[in-house]
Amino acid sequence: MTAPAEPPRYVYKIVDTEPPFPIPEVFPPSELDKKDGFIHLSAPWQPPRLKIVLHHPARPRHLRAVPSLITAKQLPVTADLFFGEHTTLWILKIRLASIGSAVRWESPPNASERYPHLYGSLGRADVESVERFKRTADERGVFQGRWKDVFSDSRWRAWEEGKGMAVEE
């Protein structure tokens, strides 16, 4: 699929083991990335969806589709879905401009959202920053909050603003 009309400035790679520091020239792909033949990434947003609204309150049968202003972030959703049992995650903030030509925006089966998939390599020149996120479990082993909650409480909340741990000295 083609890129969104207004692509994000950054995309993100979620990893469940501490990445090498400094980030190598070629970042090693995960086992899932190797199996699927591309590097799984997340965008900080999802394209707006259409929703049905009343065109005129006096005529409830007259409906039209308008772009929804409601958007969601793929990153916390992906983390909760695929990394729900992990206590620590690292997020690599990647400049889309540096990898854009090798990125395809694709929808998984039975999904409408398009996710960025990198059909190429990822490395130090592409990664702007790395941030570690940690959550704790109570005495029963139950995690305190979802990754979405951990991310929203973080000082790294404004992902688009370039915050996070530097990749190089």
Q: 66: which 2 tokens?
A: 């308008």
User: Could you tell me whether strands 127-134 and 88-95 are parallel, antiparallel, or unpaired per DSSP bridges?
Assistant: antiparallel
SS3 of 127, please? strand
Can you give the residue ranges of every domain in the chain? 10-157
The pTM assigned to this predicted structure is: 0.74
Other CB atoms within a 10 A radius of the CB of residue 149 amount to: 14
CATH topology for 10-157 is ADP-ribosylation fold (3.20.170)
DSSP state of 18: P
pLDDT tens for the chain, 169 residues long, are 566 767 888 899 999 999 999 999 999 999 999 999 999 999 875 444 444 444 445 554 444 433 332 334 788 888 888 898 898 999 999 999 999 899 999 888 877 778 899 999 999 999 999 999 988 877 776 777 788 888 776 666 444 444 444 444 3
